[in-house]
Structure 1
């Protein structure tokens, strides 16, 4: 379902905001984390939750890059 999350009608607004943030942070070089994605995130998450989510996204992206680089 994640491949079509933006057209699925089964996710809550909170889940949609988290997934949108995940995509924009993962592609930060292209997206520059626009306010249009950050605003909905602020509606559903506290500052601490946003920081935790962003760190988790960054770590998973780092692990993926290491795995790819190590041919795993």
Structure 2
């Protein structure tokens, strides 16, 4: 179980948010919800989805490195 108040917990939470929002942006029924709203929680999800789709190589490498850190080093 990771703690959100630690740095590694915050990084895991951020990576999961970016990956989840990028995946949900590819779902046809939810694409309009993530694309239309740009304020509040919808805006945060929209920005995370944009980061996930534009920087997909960096995000995937970061997920692999964080998984190795959590499973092997922590």
| Alignment TM-score, normalising by the size of structure 1 | 0.35
